[in-house]
Structure formats: structure tokens, C-alpha cells
Structure 1
């Protein structure tokens, strides 16, 4: 039986009271681990992939983007979230910023999700659900799409719809996009099949650039699939179609 190791032990009143080995940061184990981490990051950084594994992210980035933008504008922050479920990105965002009442959040979803979302989240007056793209009185600062573009048949038309709002930032997360040919597949979902897009990432970037947006952030994203965090389970695909990780991309509007 493997012995459990306590990572932290003891409660002490001052630094000097706690026992410690002062040579750890110069020791072989520490130096070897730091060296190994640096070598892995350097190898990843020097790869020819469009989005390097050195930029691997385990979280969504909307909360950080929203907080930074909120602090730089006057008035409320307006976010439009396509396929945002029942506030999957709204709740983390308002939990991350001090002035959460300044966040106006609009979710575009299916009819049933909208109806149930309004019931469950009725205590949030600044959260709104729409079954179609809404006409909004206030300018949209951020359009967010997390793990949703791949389920749309005409993704270029969807991007064009986003661009009509002229958001300051376009945040696309958990994209099934990488250095692969674009292709369509089916996703197994509890006995059902969902049509899904896998995209060539440079084709996607160029399509957004044509809408007057420039890429300002890119990273790999590793989420949990089938109870595991790690590379996508695509062992059944030919090598040229295998995608190890999804991607996060953030674009900034270049103005009129």
C-alpha cells in the first residue's frame, strides 16, 4: 500500500520556529526539476505549431479579460456570450471582479436552456437570456464563445454575426482548432451523436482577421473529457487529423 505523504505539516507562530532545510533551493532535486521544466517549456516554445504547448491553459480566460476591460472603461461592461449555458461563464466572471454589479451579461442559447436559466438564475437582474441574437441598447464590449463554435454548421457566418456588434474583444475558448485540416466529425454524447467541427487554426485566424480583428492572445486549453484531464482522446483518427488540445484565442477590434 502506498504511504500517504503530507505535503504540509505543523502550525508555527513565526518563521524561525518552523524547521526547514535552507539548502533546498540550491539542491540537486530542486535544480533538476527547475531545469527539466525549463527544457520542456523551451522545446515547446521552439516547436513549429501555431499555438505552442508552452502556452497551455487549464482555465477559461473570460474572467481575466473582463476584469481588465472593466477597469479601463466608464460605465458597465457588456458581454454577449454565445452558447453560454446557464451562466457557466457569468458566475465565474462576477465572482472575480469587485464591481460585479457593473457587468451586464447576455447569453444566447436554446429555448429550453433559456427558460430554465431564467428560473434558476432569477436573482441576477443583470443576466439576460436570448434565443436569438438580441438588439442591445448599449455597446457590446466582449463577445464570448466557449466550446460552442464547433457545433455550428456555418462558423464563418457566425463570426460575421459577432462582428456586427463591433465588440472590443472577441474571446473564443475551447476551440477544436489546431494545425490540422478542417473536418467535420460526430461526437458521442450519452448514446446520441452531435455533429462537430474541427478547424485549421490558421484558417480560423484569417477569417477573424478579415472581419477587422487582430489576434492578441493564443493558448492551448486542456479540459476534462471522460473524467480525465489531458490530450484529446483521438487515437482512432489518422495522424493528420489528431488534435492534442483545444485552443483559446482572443482578438481585438482594430477600429473603423
Structure 2
């Protein structure tokens, strides 16, 4: 029956149906408001996402797996070499010290990804600021003398004074990313490393549908326009280097990153 229907349909319709099939997952739509995008995205189970990430990262911590990203295990670490270069660049400018605020850093995925290199530095603190349910699990299962978890930036700064801000795959999932950036810049970080952030020829609000092989979820997601995005920083920072992100390019966007350093004047 399927073969018979294919023979009846013209090639143009077949191509359209194949495209729809491939777009069941990924980025869909162009929304005028966060509320509209959120309504189409529906709801997702935070607890299931945490359980997936926790289960994978626990195996990494216990040495049963090599690398985790987005709750998926890999048999080889997929380094973001530019991000790691940014961390090493920052530490070289501060005599081997590296005090990080990893905003939206899950359960410490980026920390564990780069731990082999961080272990070579004389003074490291890695502070993850996340939603309360992540922080609760992080404190219970992963926190140690170097890796800490907070649900508020000010609470983190009351104990530590991070000099480098890491924003990896987080800004695109915030309702008001530029408002958050304005708040973050008030803390006067010396360095900012941005990674795995989607850019397009113009700013766009979409809904990202995650493949079930990772976990079942969909949520609003921004594509940024690079010039507009950088304008939030360039009055106080300069770009040391920009780079392509691990997630590569799609027909809709390109994942990019950048290393920023605070101006001295």
C-alpha cells in the first residue's frame, strides 16, 4: 500500500512530506512572543531530564563512562577545544588561578568534560548556578571542594568571587536573555566564554523539539543575530577570539562561541 501511494504522489509532494518528517525534531516556527512559543512547545518533565543527566554523569564520575553531554554517554570525550582554550587563556592571565561561574551548567557537565586539564592548574573553583532542582541533586551527588552548586548568583559571590563566566548552551533558552546579560555584566567578570549558541542572519524565536533518543522535551529557543548579540558586551569587553561550536551548522542556524576579555580602560 505504501509503495502504491508513493507512485500516485507527485515528486514535489513527496519531497515536502520527507521534509516534514525530518522536521519532527529540531527547530520549528518563527514566533512573535515567548508565550506563543511556550504554548506550542507544551510542557516537559524536568525530573525526567534531571534523572537522565544524573544517571549519565554519575557513570562518568565513577569511571564507568568517559563523557556525557545532554544526558547522552560517549566513549570518547568530545572537547570544545576553543572553550578549553578560553579557560586556559584566562588562567594564564591570572597566574594559574581559575575561578568559574558556570551559569546554567547542569550538574557540572563542562567541568567533568575538562577535568583532566583543570587538574593541572594550581587553584580551581567551579561554581554552577542552576535551577533549584538541579542544585539539590548537584549538592547531594557531585559537590566537592572544587565543584559547588548555587541557585542564585549573589549567593555564589557571597562565598567566592568568580573571575570567568561560562555560558554554554544556555542563553537561547531564556525568555529575556539580554536582561540576564545586563545583570550578569554587573558582576564585572574579567573573562566571558560563550559556547554552543545558535546564530542566524536575523534574530528569531523558535520551538526546539528534542529527539526522544536524548529525552522527550520541547521548549522555546532563540536564534541570535551576531552583531546585535555582541552589542550587549562590546562597551565593556573585546573579543579575543570567536569560533564554531561543537553542534555545527543546520539549514537554519550555526552554533558559535566567543572568548571575551574585559577592557582595562
TM range (shorter): 0.5 to 0.7
* Contact 2:237–2:263, Cα closer than 8 Å, also in 1: yes
The residue number in structure 2 matching 1:33 is none
Q: Deviations over 1:74-117 (max 9, x none)?
A: 47421000111111111233311354461111101111211111
TM-score under structure 1 length normalisation: 0.64
Assess, with a 3 A threshold, how the Cα gap between structure 1 residues 218 and 74 changes in structure 2: closer, same or farther: closer
Correspondence list, 1:185-200, <5 A? 185-189=206-210, 190=212, 191-200=216-225
Q: Which has the higher helix share?
A: 2
Q: Does 1:159 align with 2:181?
A: yes
Question: Is 1:107 aligned to 2:128, yes or no?
Answer: yes
Name the structure 1 match of 2:260.
Answer: 251
| Structure 1 residues 99-139: Cα deviation after superposition (integer angstroms, max 9, x where no partner) | 446111110111121111122213x2111111121334543
Given that 2:208 and 2:218 are in contact with CA atoms closer than 8 Å, whether structure 1 keeps it comes out as: yes
CA RMSD of aligned residues (A): 2.3
Q: Kindly tell me: are residues 119 and 231 of structure 1, through their superposed partners in 2, closer, same or farther at Cα, counting changes over 3 Å? A: same
Gaps of 5+ in 1: 1-56, 224-229, 235-241
Q: Which runs of 5+ in 2 are unaligned?
A: 1-77
**Matched ranges for 1:146-225 at <5 A:** 146-178=168-200, 180-189=201-210, 190=212, 191-210=216-235, 212-223=236-247
1:63 equivalent in alignment to 2:88 = no
Taking CA–CA contacts closer than 8 Å with sequence separation of 6 or more, which of the two structures ends up with the larger relative contact order?
Answer: 2
- CA–CA separation in structure 2 for the residues paired with 1:130 and 1:197: 25
Write the distance in 2 (CA, Å) between the matches of 1:68 and 1:200: 26
When residues 110 and 231 of structure 1 are mapped into structure 2, their CA distance, relative to the original with a 3 A threshold, is same
1:135 to 157, 161, 171: 157
- TM-score between the two structures when normalised by the length of structure 2: 0.62
What's 2:100 paired with? 79
Q: Structure 1 residue runs of 4+, over 6 Å off?
A: none
Aligned pairs, how many?
182
